[in-house]
Amino acid sequence: MPIVVTLDVMLARRKMRSRELAERVGITEANLSLLKSGKVRGVRFDTLSRICEVLQCQPGELLAWEPGPEPEGRDDAG
């Protein structure tokens, strides 16, 4: 998976639960769980912005790129 979401690491650093983050960002816990596991096609900038605001971090601290095969369904976008 080339793009890895490291949101759980940041949550641990901030000692914040997923439920609280989901409430403060304004998304469902289910969607946050999908985001944490990287099972989403993408993240909207406004969602990313709110997450960064709540966690007081930069987008680069939540996402990382790792070499590897592209997951199915991502290469047909755009």
Partner 1 sequence: MPDSFSPDSLKRIRRLAFAVRALCLLGLLVIGTMPFLFWAQPDWVAHVVLQQWAIPKIQLDLVSRLGGLAGSLLPASVSVYALCQMWSLFGCFAQGELLAHQPAGHLRRLGVALSALAFAQPVGRTLSILALTWGNPKGERQLWVGLSSDHYLSLLFGLLLLALAQVLSEGARLAKENAEFV
Residues lying near partner 1 in the complex (CB under 8 A) are found at 27, 31-32, 34-35, 40-44, 47, 73, 77
Among candidates 61, 51, 16, which has minimal Cα distance to 31? 51
Three-state SS letters, 18-30: HHHHHHHHCCCHH
Looking at the Cβ atoms of 13 and 39, the one nearer to partner 1 is 39
Write down the least CB distance from residue 6 to partner 1, Å: 15
Looking at the Cβ atoms of 32 and 55, the one nearer to partner 1 is 32
Looking at the Cβ atoms of 67 and 77, the one nearer to partner 1 is 77
| Burial class of residue 51, CB neighbours in 10 A (0-12, 13-18, 19+) | buried
